[in-house]
Amino acid sequence: MSNEDKPAYSPGLEGVIAGESAICAVDANAGLLYRGYDIHELAVRASFEDVVWLLLYGELPTTAQYEQVHEQLVRDNRLPEPVIAALRLMPPEAAPIDLLRTGVSMLGLFDPEPADASHAANLRRAMRIIARIPTLVSTGWCLARGKKPLAPGDSLTYAARFLRNLGGAAPDTTMTSAFNTILVLYAEHDFNASTFAARVTASTLSDLYSAVTSAIGTLKGPLHGGANEQAMNVLREIGSPDRAEAWAKQKLAAKEKVMGFGHRIYRSGDSRVPVMRELGRQLGRQTGQGKWVEICEALEAVMLREKGLYANVDLYAAPVLLMMGIPPELNTPIFAMSRAAGWCAHVIEQLDHNRIIRPRSLYTGPAPRKLEAAAFRAEATRSQ
Ligand code: COA
């Protein structure tokens, strides 16, 4: 073994700068900017279509560009027939996030310009992926329940189209606006695990569909995007605000992780939580289901006091989506629907300045050793 200098080791890559990016800035003290714009402003003023354009092109769209992105997301939202046929063959009990991962992978087989890996072609491809993910989610959901999937509603916004395709009726403006806010909040978050996975895949000069498929597989885990589905189980298990303290103390004493709490970067709370919490309060008043947010708030207080841990966005996303009538199994696919915009922007940025991402490991295996004679016994038997 050589005596080369070893780079510093950081478990979980904590604190490691693994690349440059102009897409998003995350501040440990609760700041989050998409291309320089504060998420708190975007969450109340921007549409998801605006954010898609902003992340992919670097600037907010002009009116004409807004029309363009809207039209592209409408034009590209239909699934190829063989993909629908394949979704029909999937087990009805399959998890929606697994259907989505498989569906995006299948979409790669039907790309109309597979040989073109240029920046411009990848922007077009990104629009196709972002447009089709909600259709994959709603189609997979309907087929698994023996329902006929609806044709995408072309005149609707991205947020309204998904809600309508899922529920069958045109959603009201409050629900559409709440859902739009969720999509904006989830769209981008720097080098989070799934985005990093997408960039690693792209860095080998693989294609955008493969990168997004890697990202969805990474998002699925409960330490990342899977937490917003798990958080609903937590709230249901607790059941009422007065039970939050005892429940949390028992979990902490057992050294169990509480989903929806903690973050690798944020030290004084997740920047997205205040917006999501307020959305939860509003929907609670509107739907008469205020207890879910009250449980979250009681849990927040005890987790901070007992363990110094803040809630992350997934805690409040869970009741918000539930109050919108969305089944918790769709929480993580909805996260994917939104984050696809960030993933695609990162993949395109990676390819524009590519160098393969290939870190080292710190070897902890056996010291160099010689093969013993015993190791060859099987070989000797074979050669007889
Ligand atoms: N519940 C209970 N304890 C938690 C916790 C949680 N949600 N998150 C972190 N901790 C504790 C750890 O047990 C550890 O405690 P210790 O020092 O006493 O051993 C300490 O806080 C540091 O946690 P660690 O897991 O090393 O932090 P990380 O930066 O590696 O992980 C997360 C970050 C987000 C993966 C982690 O906080 C977590 O698992 N959260 C729950 C899943 C979740 O909500 N994910 C969505 C993230 S947006």
**What are the tens digits of pLDDT across the range 79-123?**
999 999 999 999 999 999 999 999 999 999 999 999 999 999 999
- Indicate the average pLDDT of the chain: 94
Per-residue pLDDT of 155-164, as tens digits, reads 899 999 999 9
Q: Whose CA is nearest to atom 23 of ligand 1?
A: 262
357, 19 Cβ separation under 8 angstroms: yes
Active-site hit among 50, 70, 189, 263: 263
Cα(259) to ligand 1 centroid in Å equals: 9
Q: Is the pLDDT of residue 1 over 60?
A: no
Question: What separation in Å is there between the alpha carbon of 165 and the centre of ligand 1?
Answer: 36
Tell whether ligand 1 has an atom less than 6 A from the beta carbon of residue 16: no
* Selection from 230, 191, 192, 201 nearest residue 97 by Cα: 230
pLDDT at res. 41: 96
CB of 249 closer than 6 angstroms to any ligand 1 atom = no
**154 catalytic residue (yes or no):** no
Q: Is the CB of 262 under 6 A from ligand 1?
A: yes
Distance 268 CA to ligand 1 centre (A): 14
pLDDT tier at 29, thresholds 50, 70, 90: confident
Q: Of all protein residues, whose CA lies closest to atom 27 belonging to ligand 1?
A: 264
Percent of the chain with pLDDT over 70: 95
User: What is the CA(310)–ligand 1 centre distance, in A?
Assistant: 10
CB 62 within 8 A of CB 50: no
The residue behind tokens 């969720």 is 182
Closest to 187 in 3D by CA, of 31, 42, 79, 76: 42
Q: Ligand 1, closest atom to CA 264?
A: 29
Minimal-distance CA residue to ligand 1 atom 16: 255
State pLDDT tens for residues 307-345.
999 999 999 999 999 999 999 999 999 999 999 999 999
Q: Reading across the β-sheet that carries 37-38, which strands appear in turn?
A: 24-27, 31-34, 37-38
User: What burial letters (b/e) apply to 56-73, b meaning 16+ CB within 10 Å?
Assistant: beeebbeeeeeeebbebb
- In whole angstroms, give the CA distance from residue 326 to residue 138: 11
Element containing residue 32 per DSSP (H, E): strand 31-34
* Ligand 1 pocket, residue 265 CB under 6 Å: no
pLDDT at site 5? 73
- Tell the residue nearest (CA) to atom 37 of ligand 1: 262
What is the CA(264)–ligand 1 centre distance, in A?
A: 8
pLDDT at 292: 98
257 lines ligand 1 (CB under 6 A): yes
Contacts of 165 (CB under 8 A, 6+ apart): 134, 135, 138, 139, 142, 149, 150, 152, 153
pLDDT at 378 over 70: no
Q: Which of 190, 251, 257, 266 to mutate to test the pocket of ligand 1 (most atoms within 8 A of CB)?
A: 257
More confident residue, 4 or 94: 94
**Any alpha helices (H) in 108-243, and if so which ranges?**
119-144, 158-167, 173-186, 193-203, 208-219, 227-238
Integer Cα distance of 73 and 69 in angstroms:
6
Q: How confident is the model at residue 151 (pLDDT cuts 50, 70, 90)?
A: confident
- Residue 34 CA to ligand 1 center (angstroms) comes to 25
In angstroms, rounded to a whole number, what is the distance separating the alpha carbons of residues 57 and 262?
Answer: 32
Higher pLDDT, 227 or 378: 227
Residue nearest to atom 19 of ligand 1 (CA): 255
pLDDT band at 349 (very low <50, low <70, confident <90, very high): very high
* Phi, psi of 283, deg, nearest 5: -65, -35
pLDDT at 379: 61
Best mutation site among 223, 235, 258 for ligand 1 pocket (most ligand atoms within 8 Å of CB): 223
**225 CA → ligand 1 middle, Å:** 14
pLDDT of 170 > 90? The answer is: no
**DSSP character for 311?**
B
Ligand 1 and 281: CB distance under 6 A:
no
Say if residue 211's pLDDT is above 90. yes
Could you confirm whether 50 is annotated as catalytic? no
CA distance 167 to 216: 24
The yes-or-no verdict on residue 384 having pLDDT over 60 is: no
